[in-house]
Amino acid sequence: MSDFVNPSEEIKNNAYVKDYEKLYKDSLEHPDAFWENVAKELFWYKPWTKVIESKHPYYDWFVGGQTNIVANALDRWQKTEKKDQLALVWEGQDGKVVRYTYQQLHEQVSRAANALKSLGVKKGDRVSIYMPRIPEQTIVMLASAKIGAIHTVVYSGFSVQALKSRIEDAESKIVITADGYHFRDKLVETKKTVDDAIKDNPAVKKVLVVKRTGNPIAFTEGKDIWWEELVSKQDSICPTEILDANDPLFILYTSGSTGTPKGVIHAHGGYMVGVYITAKYIFNLRSNDVFWCAADPGWITGHSYIVYSPFINGVTNFIYEGPPDYPDAGKWWSMIEKYKITKFYTAPTAIRALMKYGDAIPQKYNLSSLKILGSVGEPINPEAWRWYYRVIGKEKCPIMDTWWQTETGMHIISPLPTSPLKPGSAGKPFFGIKADVVDEKGTPVAVNTQGYLVLKKPWPAMFKDVYKNSKKYTDLYWGKIPGTYFTGDFAKRDSDGYFWILGRNDDVMKVSGYRFGSAELESAFVAHPSVAEAAVIGKPHEIKGESIKAFVILKVGVQPTDELKNELKQQVRKLIGPIATPDEIEFVPALPKTRSGKIMRRVLKAKELGQDLGDTSTLEG
Ligand code: PRX
């Protein structure tokens, strides 16, 4: 047992879950009873008649039940003392602070909901949100949910082409944005990006604009509307739409191994139950917690563990607008000290970047309020884990390395605060989750052997479908190994039953925790007039986890120059976003392909890393 890091007595005494093994066993034997008991902790307008209904691979949860996630996040607190507790504390990169109690947040959300209604937004309509990390971003997501509309948030680090295709696929009639924001010292013109993204899209009728910077923007009267003007004149009471448990809550686009990003659909009831209980148990949430998930609400981590589950659990939720190391590498640590953060949740890429600055910077701050730390989005290497544990958590805060996905909606594999921890391992499956590591036929592999990570039982926060593309849902996720959910990750399980996530087994990359499919990046290269063909791979990177390398075949007669490389980098930044900037571009005369013409990226990657090429029997020529 020497390789375990054990929880302190204090953590053990204060945890909700004391005996994981027993509860886990019970939850697998009686999953309906487990999930039903969780759902009963929440508010429902009408109880369900059936916990789960299987139309494999489609599952409906809490069938017949009526609820609304906002009824649990905000409404139910209004008749309790919690209405006067701080719900949201926000600090801008410029030092501006906004504080809302549960009552004030409820009023703000109601006003925003009435504003959406005044623009004609109804139940089931898609609402595109492209905003910086400001309070209105969270408010408008909650407002959309409150009236039964479906929000579809595009992260503000994406640019024109990525935004355009997502707005078009969702068929949104309204987009909500800001005039701009400052990222470090650079002005990012979000409104301009929206204008470019919708210029050929007559379906978008209104653009609601929050004033964040006051920088001049193009403003089309009748179409563009200032948030402040519209929202401030709305009534602060807005009835919450009573919804079916399986009515959609949001669509979030995410990259897969092939084609364009997929619109992952989540529904109110099951998602609400899943995010509520995982946040509660894994972060041991209590009323007096000040919770900081440093992700952006624009990603699934932000949807589940900023916008929804902290409020459903009734904690004080903190959001900081800026990056971790601006204007200096102590910024995040100073926020922990200032707001007395108790539970802090971030990604390994940020930990590795901050670790590089050494121990002295975090040591300048009082981090003693911290009780639990979290990690998400990519494998955390043991060295970063130990640094986070020692220097930030002072060897008293357990690290919850949570493995999950946009599609799973909630944490799937994670330690609990009482778990003995192994640095670098995501621990064991959450209650009701049956995870396994199998070969391509679905047979479990031996202990400590790499295989495909699959899930063998449904869970309530699972996605409902791929928007307008059910074939992708059935084939890509449920068709690879019939009867099981195929995660796309490699993993191994050790002799203690701990899972070790070993990265993706498809053409998906995790760059600084951001998820990119090779196809989306390659199409940005091919859109350049000089490029004939492109293939993109992820390479191990010390801080970012993976970096992007592109192999490019130029059109006949085009000269391979450094200027062209720069131009191509700019092209990808412009079309997809600065977060997708390739690190390396290599001009090549040909690409390895199968006889049927598919690019073999794994061959490119193996060559690049000097590894064995594996099975190349389908390689052309
Ligand atoms: O490869 C896994 C990695 O992130 C993928 C899901 O990405 P996304 O949908 O963007 O969601 C990220 C936030 C939940 C997974 O297939 N991943 C996520 N968490 C971990 C991880 N890899 C290793 N360890 C984790 N804790």
CATH code of the domain covering residue 29: 3.40.50.12780
406 lines ligand 1 (CB under 6 A): yes
Query: What's the CATH code of the domain at 537?
Result: 3.30.300.30
| HSE-CB for 82 with a 13 A CA cutoff | 24
Can you give 10-40 as a three-state secondary structure string?
A: HHHHHCCCCCHHHHHHHHHHCHHHHHHHHHC
492 with 544, same domain?
Answer: no
Residues 228 and 352 in one domain: no
pLDDT in the model for residue 259 = 80
| Same domain? 417 vs 436 | yes
Distance 535 CA to ligand 1 centre (A): 23
Residues (pLDDT < 70) of the chain are: 1-2, 621
Q: Which atom of ligand 1 is the closest one to the Cα of 515? A: 10
Total H helices, total E strands in the chain: 21, 30
- The secondary element (H helix, E strand) that includes residue 580 is none
123 and 234, same domain (yes or no):
yes
528 and 498 together in one domain: no
Residue type, 261: P
Between the CA of 404 and the centroid of ligand 1 the distance, in Å, is 5
Q: For the whole model, what pTM was predicted?
A: 0.97
Nearest Cα neighbor of 145 from 297, 37, 285, 35 is: 297
Q: 598 and 522: one domain?
A: yes
Q: What is the pLDDT of residue 621?
A: 61
For ligand 1, atom 22, the nearest C-alpha belongs to: 378
Decide whether any atom of ligand 1 lies within 6 Å of the 501 Cβ. yes
How confident is the model at residue 1, as a pLDDT? Answer: 42
Contacts of 185 (CB under 8 A, 6+ apart): none
Q: Please work out whether the CB of residue 295 comes within 6 Å of at least one atom of ligand 1.
A: no
Structure tokens at 286: 């209590």
616 assigned to some structural domain: no
Domain end call among 457, 480, 502: 502
Query: Is residue 316 in a domain?
Result: yes
Nearest CA owner, ligand 1 atom 11: 405
Contact 48, 245 (CB under 8 A): yes
Verify whether ligand 1 is closer than 6 Å to residue 384 (CB atom). Answer: no
Within a domain: 456: yes
Check residue 43 and give its pLDDT.
98
- Boundary-marking domain end, from 241, 272, 307: 241
Does a structural domain hold residue 413? yes
- Alpha carbons 246 and 267: distance in angstroms, whole number: 5
Q: Which of 474, 502, 530 is the last residue of a domain?
A: 502
Cis peptide leading into residue 529 (ω within 30°): no
Domain count, the chain: 3
The CA distance from 155 to 254, in Å, is: 11
Residues 211 and 305 in one domain: no
Q: Tens digits of per-residue pLDDT, 332-349? A: 999 999 999 999 999 999
Q: Rounded CA gap, 216 and 70, in Å?
A: 35
In angstroms, the CA 591 to CA 589 distance is: 7
Residue whose CA is at the smallest distance from ligand 1 atom 5: 405
User: For residue 509, which of 496, 522, 500, 528 has the smallest C-alpha distance?
Assistant: 522
Q: Is there a single domain that holds both residue 532 and residue 482?
A: no
Note whether residue 619 is domain-resident: no
378 in contact with ligand 1, CB cutoff 6 A:
yes
Is the Cβ–Cβ distance between 276 and 42 less than 8 Å? yes
340 lies in which domain range? 9-71+248-502
Ligand 1: does its nearest atom lie under 6 Å from the Cβ of 151? no
Under DSSP, the state recorded for 46 is B
Contacts of 491 (CB under 8 A, 6+ apart): 437, 450, 451, 452, 453, 499, 500, 501, 502
Is 464 part of a structural domain of the chain? yes
Determine the Cα angle at 528 with ends 522 and 529, to 5°. 135
Q: How far does residue 182's CA lie from ligand 1's centre (Å)?
A: 28
Contact yes or no for 261/166 (Cβ under 8 A):
yes
Q: What whole-number distance in Å separates Cα of residue 505 and Cα of residue 537?
A: 12
Single out the residue of 512, 564, 568 nearest to residue 538, CA to CA.
512
Kind of pairing, strands 290-293 and 343-346?
parallel
- Spell out the alpha helix ranges (H) of 313-357: 331-339, 348-355
618 belongs to a structural domain:
no
**Ligand 1 pocket: which of 510, 514, 516, 579 to mutate (most atoms <8 Å of CB)?**
510
Residues 271 and 257 in one domain: yes
Ligand 1 neighbourhood includes 303 CB (under 6 angstroms): no
Whether 2 is in a domain gets the answer no
Q: Outline where DSSP puts E strands in 459-577.
A: 465-466, 485-493, 499-504, 508-511, 514-517, 531-541, 545-554
Are residues 174 and 236 part of one domain? yes
State if residue 504 touches ligand 1 by the CB under 6 angstroms criterion.
yes
- Do 57 and 94 belong to one domain? no
Residue range 450-493, pLDDT digits in tens: 999 999 999 999 999 999 999 999 999 999 998 899 999 999 99
* Together in a domain, 172 and 237: yes
